[in-house]
A = this chain, B = another copy of it.
Amino acid sequence: MSAKREQTERKSAPIGVFDSGVGGLTVAREIMRQIPNERLVYFGDTARVPYGNKSKETVTKFSRQIVRFLETQNVKAIVVACNTASAYALDEIEQELDIPVIGVVKPGAKVAAQATRNGKVGVIATAGTISSKIYTEYIQGINPDIYVVGKACPLFVPLVEEGLLKDPVTDEIAMRYLSELKDIDIDTLILGCTHYPLIRSTIGRIMGEHVTLVNPAYETARELKELLEKEDLLNPMEPALGTNQYQFYVSDAADKFKTFANSILKYGILSAKIINIEEY
Residues of chain A whose beta carbon lies under 8 Å from any beta carbon of chain B = 46-48, 53-55, 57-58, 154-155, 158-159, 161-162, 168-169, 172-173, 251-253, 256, 278
Contact = CB atoms under 8 A, between A and B. Distances in A.
B253 A55 contact: yes
Nearest to A251: B58
A159 B156 CA distance: 11
B58 A252 contact: yes
A55 to B, nearest CB: 5
Contacts of A161: 154
Contacts of A253: 53-55, 58
A54 B154 CA distance: 20
A169 B168 CA distance: 9
A21 to B, nearest CB: 10
Contact of A54 (B46, B162, B168, B172): B46
Contacts of A169: 169, 172-173
A61 to B, nearest CB: 9
Contact of A155 (B158, B252, B256): B158
Given A47-B58, A58-B253, A154-B161, 14 more contacts: A53-B256, A54-B252, A54-B253, A55-B253, A58-B251, A58-B252, A155-B155, A155-B158, A155-B162, A168-B172, A169-B169, A169-B172, A169-B173, A278-B278
9 contacts: A53-B253, A53-B256, A54-B252, A55-B252, A58-B253, A154-B162, A168-B172, A169-B172, A169-B173
Contacts of A172: 168-169, 172
A199 to B, nearest CB: 15
A158 B195 CA distance: 16
A54 B47 contact: yes
Contacts of A278: 278
A112 to B, nearest CB: 26
